[in-house]
A and B are shown apart, each in its own frame.
Chain A
Amino acid sequence: MNRFLGKTFTLFLLGAVAFRFAPAQPVVAYDIKARLDPASKTVAGEERLVWFNASSSAVTTVPFHLYLNAFRNNRSTFMKESGRAGEGRQAEDWGHCRVKGIRLESGEDLLPSMRFLQPDDGNPDDRTVMEVALPKPVEPGGSAVFLITFESKLPRVVARSGWHRNFFMVAQWFPKVGVLLDGGWNCHQYHARSEFFADFGSYRVEITTPSDFVVGATGRRIDRRENKDGSVTVVHEQDRIHDFAWAACPDFLEYRKRFRLEEPRVETDMIFLIHKDHQKLMPRHLKALTHALEFYSRSFGPYPYPTITLVDPAPGAQAAGGMEYPTLFTTMSLAWLPSWIRLPEMVTIHEFGHNYWYGMIGSNEFEEAWLDEGINTYSEIKALAAYPGGGDLISLCGLDISDLEQHQLSVFLSGKFDPVVRNSWEFVSGGSYSLNVYAKAGLALLMLERMLGPDVMDRIMKAFFGRWRFGHPTTTDFVAAAEEESGRDLGWFFDQFFYSPDALDYAVGSLSSEPVPDFAGIDDEGEIAGASPASRTTKPDVYRNEAVIVRLGEHVFPQEIEAVFEGGRTILERWDGRERWKRFVWTSPDRVRSVRLDPRGVMVLDANTANNSRTRERDERLPRKIGLRLMGALQRIWALMAF
């Protein structure tokens, strides 16, 4: 450790060593002073960054993310990719992050060496990544201390951050250093479909706002002071995190409630910043967050931070909603939303869940977004299914739509263009990105759970979380944890469902049951025996029941086939599913009534569930019911319209 290492950083390192599951060393320590000017929508900042070289190579340049420059003009990569380049915007709607000064604490001015990089697409108009050259290399194990002054002009709320009237969501707002991996710097541009990636470390941030503003921020508040100029400064700090966000609005109502759980041991302060127009939704968010804290702590590991802050964006600022930051997230509220639509609950649970899959498991969201969104979708489906009082997303008079079903719908309605694992900006469209990294990945994990059993999956998730908490795991690390805990080779599973865009679809191709004819012809004694089939008058003794199972999709998946016979007898068959088809024949005195694939409901990604079963005789109840109901409804409408 060299001389630049500050006291905070030393304490932080000690804390990390003491922490049992911390595989990665803390790399950064930020100390930021920020002042919000609501009139100009600007945050003036001073940043002191201690950066530690935890790699095995010396570095001579250091890149920084300047995410807000995505909103600097309509030529940024973000604006081009999102199709917003042609949108009309007022002058005050744009945003930027301008570095006014950058130097080393030792005095060397780095500003002259500053330049903008475009490592992903070479777009010269994109200024979301900057780089400075160091006067001398930082060796492995060494560190550098940067002093940066910057000005962040917040955009009108767009893509997770910005202002709307007197509401401010201040996110991705300060110069943030890239991540140094052994292969070099990982510092991508801000893309329309990308989220973020940063190193773990400690943050201490002083936020100054006008005194009427209610402020919520990452981490715990350690100080609040009123200034002579009428402003108020709050100080927050938190370690073992990789980002810092805050929100401010005079119309927030602040609620606090202590959450306690005995097993595993969890104690944390739940802080709710609810916009005054959404006050009535507060009990719903409280119930959802309480459930989420309990569910995630029990399922994956205890929530370790002293606070969790829920921010409810102001009406009209929905673009800031549904986003995660360490120990703070934004939810979604609409004042008129009835209780049978559990959208606020779903968003609160999902975004809280990101404190695990993103917050503590710091995967690279640019390159493997499924590791946070997919795993969190899987967790969200399970958490909602266990929601007290019922967790259907919509539940009204028998019309129930579960979270699982809504994710299945998004997968089924999609084309198959992209695999799950792909750089986020390389997906063919925003829809393809969303359905793959959220829905398809989440459902694939649910399939894995149903295939391996809930106990094994529980072990896998706990092991993965435990090993990689406060680290940067990749897909390979997840597969390794899954294979180790299950004791099975799962490469075939991940190759198909995570690295291939193909589909899974098995079907019952045909089903028949024919009487086995009595013997006819020349028997072993050379006699001609048997009557012609036409002369038979009695019920046949034996039937030849036959089902042909076909594989219509490219993916191969082991199959269970359940045949149900008249009288209720069932037979369970198994097939490895590799060939394109397989014939099953059952010769028995009873006739087969139906055949069903996947009776345990493992194949949640199956592209067509209607063809997963077949009855020998057609059930006319549904056509009759739908036909009559539709006919009746239209007849009534036409009668109203009549003459």
Chain B
Amino acid sequence: MSISRYYLLGWGDAVRQPKMAFLLWVLNALSGLVVYFGACGLMRRAFGHSLLGSELSERFAFRGVMELLQRHGRDVAALAGTVLILTAATYLLSLFLSGGVLHVLKTARNPKSGEKESRVAALFFEGAGRYFGRFLRLEIVALPMWIVFGILLFVFSGIAGNASDGWEKERLGFALVLALVGAAVLFVFLGMMIVDYARIQLVATDGRRVFKVFLGTLKFAARRFFKLLGLAVFFLITMGIVLALGEAVARLLGGKGAVVTALGFGVQQVLVLALLGARIAFLGAQARLSERERVSALDLPPAAQDAGGEQKERPDKAQSPFDGDAQ
């Protein structure tokens, strides 16, 4: 199956789970509101009654940044701390949430008798609770992978430094720095993708052998590298479009009337919802790709595969937990 078809089917899965997307948006927006009130408070303390505040609301004025740093450095640090804590919390929460998302997707495509769509919240939290411990262990198991990526970047950086004569070939050095940043982004994305597929496999098999699943996922990722990457590119393009729309809307916010601001804020939230939907769609597409191609790539004995490694038949079809309308 082509990756575009996986992606479209993933979107189908996401569209069928609006309640789950809404639930995720609520959690996202609650954290956002904490930041909103924190930032508003900081701005009021710094510029509340000053004409400089009015000027800043209309255009960028470096003086405003200067005053903020000089006079309200502690408040800025406190807000930055809050943002960091919320970001860390979001990361930890993601371990919890991803179990719920995958469990809902799995159940939706393989419903047990009596389970209805109205039980999404219950299913979500059931899955979240069930897989949280395993996902946490998966993060620990995946640490060496991140360390290897770090070492690779360090080595690349050394090579780039030598190639550019200690960064003195400035144009080449600059290009290599950009390449290093690109490599770092690729590693981060690759790592996240591998962890995604490992989570999918843990949920699909309801297995508990995290280390084995992780190793299997590494092999799978290596064999289907370009296909996985291709699917990710679809996701990134979607994200890029939504983020660009979000930025365009953000520029409409503030400095205008309250009605326009409220409207802009509403559109902004719809876009955040779209982002979350895109993420669910990506997970759904990954789950389908994993389900369909992982067995053929890894688990079947050689006799069951053709010369090109393609699957001849799917003996596990009946047991496929993500089985649904993908065939």
Using CB atoms and an 8 Å cutoff, list the residues of chain A in contact with chain B: 277-278, 314-316, 334-336, 398-402, 405-406, 408-409, 412-413, 511, 594, 596, 607-616, 618-619, 621-643
Q: B140 near A: Cβ within 8 Å?
A: no
- Residue contact A402 to B62, C-beta cutoff 8 Å: yes
10 contacts between A and B (CB under 8 A): A405-B66, A408-B66, A622-B54, A623-B40, A634-B32, A634-B35, A634-B87, A637-B87, A639-B276, A642-B97
Instruction: Give the chain B neighbours of A413 by CB distance below 8 A.
Output: 69-70
- Residue contact B170 to A334, C-beta cutoff 8 Å: yes
- Residue contact B49 to A614, C-beta cutoff 8 Å: yes
Q: B59 near A: Cβ within 8 Å?
A: yes
Chain A, residue nearest B44 (CB): A623
Chain A, residue nearest B199 (CB): A643
Instruction: Give the chain A neighbours of B320 by CB distance below 8 A.
Output: none
Q: How far is the CB of A629 from chain B (nearest CB, A)?
A: 5
- Residue contact B52 to A628, C-beta cutoff 8 Å: no
Q: How far is the CB of A358 from chain B (nearest CB, A)?
A: 29
Q: B279 near A: Cβ within 8 Å?
A: yes
Interface centre among B41, B50, B166 (most CB of A within 10 A): B50
Instruction: Give the chain B neighbours of A636 by CB distance below 8 A.
Output: 243, 246, 271-272, 275
Name A628's contact: one of B62, B168, B239, B268 (CB within 8 Å): B268
Q: How far is the CB of A25 from chain B (nearest CB, A)?
A: 46
- Residue contact B268 to A632, C-beta cutoff 8 Å: yes
20 extra A-B contacts, CB within 8 A, seeds A610-B47, A638-B31, A638-B32: A278-B170, A315-B168, A335-B170, A405-B63, A405-B66, A412-B67, A609-B52, A610-B46, A610-B50, A610-B71, A621-B54, A628-B265, A628-B268, A630-B39, A632-B32, A632-B272, A634-B31, A639-B279, A642-B24, A643-B94
Instruction: Give the chain A neighbours of B44 by CB distance below 8 A.
Output: 618, 623
Total A-B contacts with CB atoms under 8 angstroms apart: 195
Instruction: Give the chain A neighbours of B255 by CB distance below 8 A.
Output: 621, 625
Q: B53 near A: Cβ within 8 Å?
A: yes
Q: In chain B, residues 112-163, which have Cβ atoms closer than 8 Å to a Cβ of chain A? A: none
**Are A641 and B91 also in contact (CB < 8 A) when A277-B169, A405-B62, A408-B63 are?**
yes
Q: B14 near A: Cβ within 8 Å?
A: no
Instruction: Give the chain B neighbours of A408 by CB distance below 8 A.
Output: 63, 66
Q: In chain B, residues 1-39, which have Cβ atoms closer than 8 Å to a Cβ of chain A? A: 24, 28-29, 31-33, 35-37, 39
Q: B261 near A: Cβ within 8 Å?
A: yes
Instruction: Give the chain B neighbours of A642 by CB distance below 8 A.
Output: 24, 28, 90, 94, 97, 276, 279
Chain B, residue nearest A336 (CB): B174
Q: B302 near A: Cβ within 8 Å?
A: no
**Are A640 and B169 also in contact (CB < 8 A) when A399-B60, A610-B52, A611-B50 are?**
no
- Residue contact A643 to B47, C-beta cutoff 8 Å: no
- Residue contact B246 to A631, C-beta cutoff 8 Å: no
Chain A, residue nearest B192 (CB): A641
Q: How far is the CB of B272 from chain A (nearest CB, A)?
A: 5
Q: B231 near A: Cβ within 8 Å?
A: no
- CB-defined interface of B301-318 with A at 8 Å, one 1/0 digit per residue? 000000000000000000
- Residue contact B67 to A608, C-beta cutoff 8 Å: yes
**Are A626 and B69 also in contact (CB < 8 A) when A315-B169, A635-B32 are?**
no
- Residue contact B254 to A626, C-beta cutoff 8 Å: yes
- CB-defined interface of B162-190 with A at 8 Å, one 1/0 digit per residue? 00011111110110000000000000000
Q: B232 near A: Cβ within 8 Å?
A: no
Closest 7 A/B residue pairs (Cβ): A625-B254, A643-B98, A335-B170, A336-B174, A613-B51, A639-B275, A621-B57
Name B32's contact: one of A610, A611, A622, A631 (CB within 8 Å): A631
**Are A632 and B250 also in contact (CB < 8 A) when A609-B67, A626-B40 are?**
yes
Q: How far is the CB of A356 from chain B (nearest CB, A)?
A: 28
**Cα A642 to Cα B282 with chains together (Å):** 12
Name B87's contact: one of A277, A314, A618, A638 (CB within 8 Å): A638
Q: How far is the CB of A591 from chain B (nearest CB, A)?
A: 15
Q: B218 near A: Cβ within 8 Å?
A: no
Instruction: Give the chain A neighbours of B295 by CB distance below 8 A.
Output: none
Q: B326 near A: Cβ within 8 Å?
A: no
- CB-defined interface of B76-96 with A at 8 Å, one 1/0 digit per residue? 000000010011001100100
Chain B, residue nearest A629 (CB): B250
Instruction: Give the chain A neighbours of B36 by CB distance below 8 A.
Output: 627-628, 630-631
Q: How far is the CB of B75 from chain A (nearest CB, A)?
A: 13
For chain B, what secondary structure do more than half of its interface residues adopt (helix, strand, loop), or is it mixed? helix
**Cα A153 to Cα B59 with chains together (Å):** 54
**Cα A402 to Cα B63 with chains together (Å):** 10
Instruction: Give the chain B neighbours of A615 by CB distance below 8 A.
Output: 49-51, 54
Using CB atoms and an 8 Å cutoff, list the residues of chain B in contact with chain A: 24, 28-29, 31-33, 35-37, 39-44, 46-54, 56-57, 59-60, 62-64, 66-67, 69-71, 83, 86-87, 90-91, 94, 97-98, 100-101, 165-171, 173-174, 239, 243, 246, 249-250, 253-255, 261, 264-265, 268-269, 271-272, 275-276, 279, 283
Q: How far is the CB of A338 from chain B (nearest CB, A)?
A: 10
**Cα A155 to Cα B280 with chains together (Å):** 61
Chain B, residue nearest A615 (CB): B49
**Are A628 and B279 also in contact (CB < 8 A) when A336-B170, A622-B54, A642-B90 are?**
no
- Residue contact A398 to B59, C-beta cutoff 8 Å: yes
**Cα A315 to Cα B172 with chains together (Å):** 12
Instruction: Give the chain B neighbours of A277 by CB distance below 8 A.
Output: 169-171
Instruction: Give the chain A neighbours of B167 by CB distance below 8 A.
Output: 316
Name B57's contact: one of A278, A614, A622, A640 (CB within 8 Å): A622
Instruction: Give the chain B neighbours of A607 by CB distance below 8 A.
Output: 70
Chain A, residue nearest B254 (CB): A625
Instruction: Give the chain B neighbours of A626 by CB distance below 8 A.
Output: 39-40, 42-43, 254
- Residue contact B48 to A618, C-beta cutoff 8 Å: yes
Chain B, residue nearest A164 (CB): B168
**Are A641 and B43 also in contact (CB < 8 A) when A335-B171, A408-B66 are?**
no
Interface centre among B48, B91, B101 (most CB of A within 10 A): B48
Q: How far is the CB of A67 from chain B (nearest CB, A)?
A: 27
Chain A, residue nearest B50 (CB): A610
**Cα A631 to Cα B51 with chains together (Å):** 24
**Cα A623 to Cα B268 with chains together (Å):** 17
Q: How far is the CB of B184 from chain A (nearest CB, A)?
A: 16
- Residue contact B52 to A400, C-beta cutoff 8 Å: no
**Are A623 and B67 also in contact (CB < 8 A) when A615-B49, A615-B54 are?**
no
Name A635's contact: one of B37, B47, B94, B272 (CB within 8 Å): B272
Instruction: Give the chain B neighbours of A631 by CB distance below 8 A.
Output: 32-33, 35-36, 39
Q: How far is the CB of A367 from chain B (nearest CB, A)?
A: 31
Chain A, residue nearest B98 (CB): A643
Q: How far is the CB of A167 from chain B (nearest CB, A)?
A: 11
- Residue contact A627 to B37, C-beta cutoff 8 Å: yes
- Residue contact A625 to B66, C-beta cutoff 8 Å: no
**Cα A634 to Cα B88 with chains together (Å):** 12
Q: How far is the CB of B178 from chain A (nearest CB, A)?
A: 9
Instruction: Give the chain A neighbours of B56 by CB distance below 8 A.
Output: 622
Chain B, residue nearest A616 (CB): B49
Name A639's contact: one of B173, B250, B272 (CB within 8 Å): B272
Instruction: Give the chain A neighbours of B67 by CB distance below 8 A.
Output: 412, 608-610
**Cα A336 to Cα B83 with chains together (Å):** 33
- Residue contact B39 to A641, C-beta cutoff 8 Å: no
- Residue contact B52 to A613, C-beta cutoff 8 Å: yes
Chain B, residue nearest A639 (CB): B275
Chain B, residue nearest A401 (CB): B62
**Are A624 and B254 also in contact (CB < 8 A) when A610-B67, A632-B268 are?**
yes
**Cα A336 to Cα B35 with chains together (Å):** 37
**Cα A336 to Cα B177 with chains together (Å):** 11
**Are A629 and B253 also in contact (CB < 8 A) when A614-B49, A623-B39 are?**
yes
**Cα A263 to Cα B131 with chains together (Å):** 82
- Residue contact A641 to B90, C-beta cutoff 8 Å: yes
Instruction: Give the chain B neighbours of A401 by CB distance below 8 A.
Output: 62
**Cα A636 to Cα B274 with chains together (Å):** 10
Instruction: Give the chain B neighbours of A608 by CB distance below 8 A.
Output: 67, 70-71
Instruction: Give the chain B neighbours of A398 by CB distance below 8 A.
Output: 59-60
